Amino acid sequence: MPERGRLFVISGPAGVGKSEIVKTVLKRHPDVSLSVSCTTRAPRPGEVDGVSYHFVSDARFDELVRQDAFYEWAHVHQNRYGTLKEVVRAELDAGRDLILEIDVQGCLQAMAQDDTVTGIFVCPPSRENLEARLRHRGTETEESIRVRLNNVARECATAYKYHYIIIHQDWSVEPNALEIAAEQVYAIITARRRALESNRTFLDELNRSLNA
C-alpha cells in the first residue's frame, strides 16, 4: 500500500494570484493534485464544468450536505462552495499530496478534523503595492478601491491561523514572482514529505533490519 498523501490548504484574498500560483505548481509538479470543488455559483466565461468547479444547483448542494458528502463547505460571497470527501479520500489513499484552494472557513474546518493539514496563506507584498495595482487597472472607483482594501485587510488578519505565509511579489518588482511563489509552495510540500512523521514507518523498518 502506498504511503498516504498529505493535505495542503491554500487561501488568500481575491486577486492576490493564488489560482495562478496553484496552476504553476500543478504544471511543474505532476506529483501534486488539486481538488475540484462543488459550487452553486454560475460559471464565468471560459470555466469548464468538472475542471474549474463542479457547478451544481442549490437543490443538489443541499442534497450533498444531507448526504454528508462534504469534507468541508462554506458560504463565500453569497454562494456555497464545498470539497467532496470522496475526492480527499481517493487522492490521499492513492498516496498523492492534494491541494485545496479554499477560503479561511474551509481551512479551519479541515484543520479541526485533521491536525496534519498544512495551511498556506498567500499575501500581497504591501498595502501600497495592492493599492497601486488596483489604481493601475483604471477600472475601479475610489469607493470600490476602498471596499477592496477593507476586504483584503479582513482576510489578511486571518493569516495567523495558517502555518506558512507566501508573499506574492508584484511582477514589475520581480519578473519571476509567479514561479518563485509556486516553488515556495512546492518547497513546503517537499518539507512536509521529509518530516519525521511522514517517514516513521520507513525509519522503523530500516532500523529493524539494521538491528536484525
**Helix, strand, coil tally for the chain in percent (to 5):** 50, 20, 35
Least distance (Å) from ligand 5GP to the CB of residue 145?
Answer: 19
User: Is 139 or 211 the residue whose CB approaches ligand 5GP more closely?
Assistant: 139
Least distance (Å) from ligand 5GP to the CB of residue 98?
Answer: 12
User: Is 66 or 194 the residue whose CB approaches ligand 5GP more closely?
Assistant: 66
Q: Using an 8 Å Cβ cutoff, are 95 and 4 in contact?
A: yes
Least distance (Å) from ligand 5GP to the CB of residue 31?
Answer: 22
- Helices marked H in the chain — which ranges? 18-28, 58-66, 85-93, 104-113, 127-137, 142-156, 177-194, 196-210
Q: Using an 8 Å Cβ cutoff, are 155 and 15 in contact?
A: no
Residues at the interface with ligand 5GP (CB under 6 A): 37, 41, 72, 74, 76, 81-83, 101-103, 105-106
Q: Which three cell numbers stand for residue 102?
A: 479554499
User: Amino acid identity of 141?
Assistant: T
User: Is 2 or 50 the residue whose CB approaches ligand 5GP more closely?
Assistant: 50
Q: For residue 76, which of 106, 99, 100 has the smallest C-alpha distance?
A: 106
User: Is 15 or 125 the residue whose CB approaches ligand 5GP more closely?
Assistant: 15
Least distance (Å) from ligand 5GP to the CB of residue 182?
Answer: 17
Least distance (Å) from ligand 5GP to the CB of residue 83?
Answer: 4
User: What contacts 112, CB < 8 A, 6 or more positions away?
Assistant: none
User: Is 76 or 178 the residue whose CB approaches ligand 5GP more closely?
Assistant: 76
- The residue with its CB nearest to ligand 5GP is 106
User: Is 41 or 85 the residue whose CB approaches ligand 5GP more closely?
Assistant: 41
Q: For residue 83, which of 98, 96, 100, 68 has the smallest C-alpha distance?
A: 100
Q: Using an 8 Å Cβ cutoff, are 53 and 36 in contact?
A: yes
Classify each residue of 42-56 as buried b or exposed e, where b means 16 or more C-beta atoms within 10 Å of its C-beta.
Answer: eeeeeeeeeeebbbb
Least distance (Å) from ligand 5GP to the CB of residue 117?
Answer: 13
